[in-house]
Chain A
């Protein structure tokens, strides 16, 4: 360390050059990201145009993978599921998360304690909490079925994961359970930045609770909502773990998401090229949500009085 404090004059001149110094400091991160992020991203796109299999480099086959996928009903089912899953789960996560954030923003006893335990579903490894859901959704011994039977609401246990629509609803519920804390705590942070004086001024003018929410809280929160929901949509869209644990895409491919289908075709199925093509097919959707995020950020800047 002391060696670098007295560099020779040539080296000294170089380290005073900001561009060189910046390059030097960025090098470790850049090497990692180029090797394990940029390169695989490009390689993935290339693999999508080849017929690579595990243990064998593929040859370029143009769009054949995509043509095969276009006439593959399982693939379209996965696309449909992914969009449905993302849409419903995101809407629910947003509504419930905002509600929870508004509750937590009130004066409550043990507020920080509540905030701490609410984040737990998000902290715990998804696979492990998904295992708990697997047990909760058990076809025979589901605690939900048992409780509902005891309450006299249903007669036979619910077949949570065996029926396509039930299975979809079940995985969405588990995803929402896991996602609410993130949305709630992030929005709570946003809520706390809204100046109290705005609410006071509005109440003096006679605004009702709903009006204050609609015309103060919501507009002030919009930029954060845009960013939080972009992240939420992004992670929901590319979700893999919950489906893999709960249904493995079943029953009869009814709950496959694009990510799980890509895994199933690519790794256990060995069709690397086809798996990569399915993964690449997710990119347009992801780009759309990233662009959405940028507009959210832009608006934030504008609201703070900066240039649009």
Chain B
């Protein structure tokens, strides 16, 4: 009786899990399927299959330029995010700082702030900066990278502080006792220990930056468009599977990055 109830409960749980997973994977599945349709207007059932839309995506100059820009911005923003986020995490976790918890919350805030709000505020801020300094900020690569750094920092801070929380500081003392100065200790002992957080933080920061649409909409300049915006602009005129093909390429690249990362750092353990 109780065994039967148990297996019934398990069945219900498995069923619910399958349903949720299906719900999450459904759009992904359709995008991938759609990318291989032969006809221009997506309709069911497909009239046949083709790889021509992948070629179309690769020959689409806005897509290619957008991809390169997104890659540039993502890499630069991630680097800046690391340079600012790692020392911030160390300071927050290791020292009693006045308003420490408040600063921590502030650093995580861009993660929960709606992209539109962030975009609008940065737009106004960058215009004011241009007026005040006379430097071209809005629409420049620098302006875009600065904004994207803002969405990378929360990931770096969140994951690096999590790594530091379980870190045994006596191994730093052991290194110093053996003759290592502060910088060598950080490089040889601290850094390898927080590497999982560092790698995961960089990966999620980069993905967030690469896929960012709402904030970027306000900050791109003429002829300087990121991939998500290029896709949006294309969709205003056409709905053929070129967009689906471009998305599939993105999904494959990000998926590959996660699998490769996971070989070195178990992502499931960090996040």
User: Do chains A and B stick together as partners?
Assistant: no
